[in-house]
Structure 1
Amino acid sequence: MAKADRLERLDTRREELEAEYRETLIAALEKTAGGSWGLFDHRQDKAARAAITPVIETLDEIGQTVDSMREQLGMAPFTLHRDFMADRGPVKSSAVGEPKQAQAWLEKLKASGKYDG
């Protein structure tokens, strides 16, 4: 019974962290969609990178914690985190800008209701 209780608490905490991750990501996406660059690191501008670093570090820390919890619970990885991190970095000059990319992410998140794998 103690193991079942422990796993239930772990799963509840996982759900809380996933919600916190989504809230943090959505706030950052909304800011980026409004014209603030740096979230996707397209330009690799030092000032933009420095300004967004705390958000990226928070998202990465939460994402890794959630992945660890999911592994303990025998669940699939936290795909929202993996997909977001995979979309960051240099792009071709013909790629859409960060504000448009952020808007597309927001639309995808809102359409799915719960995008966590």
Structure 2
Amino acid sequence: MAVVAKRAGKPVAEGPLWARNWAKFGKAADRAQLDDILVFHRARGSGHVGLYVGEDYFAFHVLGGSQSDDVTITRIAPGTAASPFAGRSTGKTPVTAKPVQLAASGALSTNEA
């Protein structure tokens, strides 16, 4: 996530290799939308971080690395989120930012968060 933020000219979270530190990054949002960073819990205090691509009725569609050992867009249920809309990649919401409704296709992830 740090490489993506840096290449986009955005600030990087403090301690960016620890996924849960991204929950302190930017400002919280009431609802996920394009340009949001999502932070998820994993066992034993670790986590997972990814970019919001869209959502369906059951899950967020998250672009991230280390998802099934690859960079993919994966469906992750919101109940696994440490804070479902934990961070913002900018302090100012872009005009184009909005929730994106997608079709519910593909299995829900069981190993990312």
TM-score scaled by length of structure 2 = 0.23
Please identify which structure carries the higher strand content: 2
Please identify which structure carries the higher helix content: 1
Q: Report 1 or 2 for greater relative contact order, CA contacts < 8 Å, sequence distance ≥ 6.
A: 1
TM-score scaled by length of structure 1 = 0.22
**Which has the greater radius of gyration?**
1
